[in-house]
Amino acid sequence: MHTQAPLDAATVESLLAAAVAAPSIHNTQPWRFRLDPDRQVLEVHSAPERTLPLTDPMHRAQYLSVGAAVFNLRLAAVHLGRRPEVRLLPDRHTPGLLAAVRLTGPLGADDQPSDPGLYEAIARRHTSRMPFTGRPVPEPIVAEMARAAQSADARLHLPDIAGTRRLLRLTAAAEARNRAHPERSTETLTWLTAPGSDVSYGIPVTALGPPDAAGRMPMRDFTSPLPALRRPALFFERHVQLGLLWTPRDQREDWLRAGQALQYVLLTATAHGLRTSLLHQAMEWSDLRAATALPRDKRCHPQLLIRFGYGPDGAGTPRGPVHSVVRPAAPSASE
């Protein structure tokens, strides 16, 4: 790779290492990066070979995942003393180009330094599919998570007990549909990987959690066609703490914003010692997705459910090699 000073190879590698640590649906890591060293721009492209045609036909979850990676890139840039200027969908003739991050120069004296706790949380955050303790998360932390979503142009709705039950019921309905859908179940299963296998994408079975022995928590069953892989059931927390991430509009750009908001919320939670996991099943069926919307807010476009609390850390998941995804920028007719 040839880069011109001052955007040296080590800097680019640090930026990309942070970006790819983002969560992505089924750990598909649906991004590719191209570096234009002359303009000091990192382009974030979609990776069409790593999509979920049945689970995510509109690519909304893919955009959320890429948005999360863009948020990490921004944090890493500031951490390295660079000012990131992000343009979402910068070229309508290149639909696969989802974001361009220009590193405009050193941070000025007036620039806000980002919270170092957030940058450090990038490497510590893992999806935890284990039961949480049920200890209530203090209000100021929850409020900080909601502010994080808002500052990234999304909203985090924190339902009361009845609202939480409703969202879990809708997620359970979606989960039941997914399991009864052989092609979707097979698609999900293809992203599971055996322990110790040398694969850089997908979810190792060691990162899965158990089903809820009480049947209340509709965690995604990645193993439904192969029940032998399923862990023994455990009791999950009775007091489930959920946030519904939503956006006031529902275009491609909003999904990228929602992804940035998602990562901001997850890192804020991680920095405070919380664990998180995601419940996306209801978003995969248009009627159930619509039913999760806030009845009193017409602008509410639900994007994802975030479960949070105190509990065991999640297991690590692999990532594609950082250096192999750096390419010189070049216009591509195929995108």
Ligand X SMILES: Cc1cc2nc3c(=O)[nH]c(=O)nc-3n(C[C@H](O)[C@H](O)[C@H](O)COP(=O)(O)O)c2cc1C
In whole angstroms, give the CA distance from residue 212 to residue 331: 49
Q: Count other Cβ atoms within 10 Å, centred on residue 332.
A: 12
What tokens appear for 48 in the block? 């069409």
Query: Taking the CB of residue 71, how many other CB atoms lie within 10 A of it?
Result: 29
Which has the closest alpha carbon to 33: 14, 61, 51, 52? Answer: 14
Q: Do residues 42 and 33 make contact, with C-beta atoms less than 8 angstroms apart?
A: yes
Indicate the residue among 7 and 236 with the shorter CB distance to ligand X.
236
Tell me which of 50, 129, 157, 289 binds ligand X, using CB under 6 A.
129
Binding ligand X (rule: CB under 6 A), the pick from 15, 18, 64, 269 is 64
Q: Mask 33-62, x = binds ligand X (CB under 6 A)?
A: ----------------------------x-
Q: Which residue is nearest to ligand X (CB)?
A: 23
Q: Does 278 bind ligand X (CB under 6 A)?
A: yes
- Single residue of 220, 257, 272, 307 touching ligand X by CB under 6 A: 220
Per CB under 6 A, the segment of 85-93, 151-159, 176-184, 274-282 that binds ligand X is 274-282
The binding track of 154-193 with respect to ligand X, each residue x by CB under 6 A or -, is: ----------------------------------------
Write down the number of H helices and E strands in the chain. Answer: 8, 11
- For residue 315, the minimal CB distance to ligand X (Å) is 7
Identify which of residues 157 and 220 has a Cβ nearer to ligand X in the complex: 220
Task: Name the 3-class secondary structure at 127.
Answer: strand
Residue of the chain from 3, 55, 72, 127 that contacts ligand X (CB under 6 A):
127
Listed ranges 63-71, 115-123, 131-139, 142-150: which one lies at the site for ligand X (CB under 6 A): 63-71
Contact flag: residue 268 with ligand X (CB under 6 A): no
Neighbours of 299 (CB within 10 A): 12
- Cα–Cα distance for residue pair 227/99, rounded to 1 Å: 40
Q: Pick one of 281, 282, 309, 325: the residue that binds ligand X (CB under 6 A).
A: 281
Q: Which is nearer to ligand X, 7 or 121 (CB)?
A: 121
Sequence-distant (6+) residues with CB within 8 A of 279 are 171, 218, 219, 220, 242, 304, 305, 306, 307
Candidate residues 7, 11, 16, 27; the one interacting with ligand X per rule CB under 6 A: 27
Q: Give which of 279, 282, 300 is closest to 170, Cα–Cα.
A: 282
CB 242 within 8 A of CB 159: yes
CA torsion sign for 259, 260, 265, 268 is: positive
The binding site for ligand X (CB under 6 A) comprises 23-27, 61, 64-65, 68, 126-127, 129, 203, 220, 277-281, 304, 314, 317
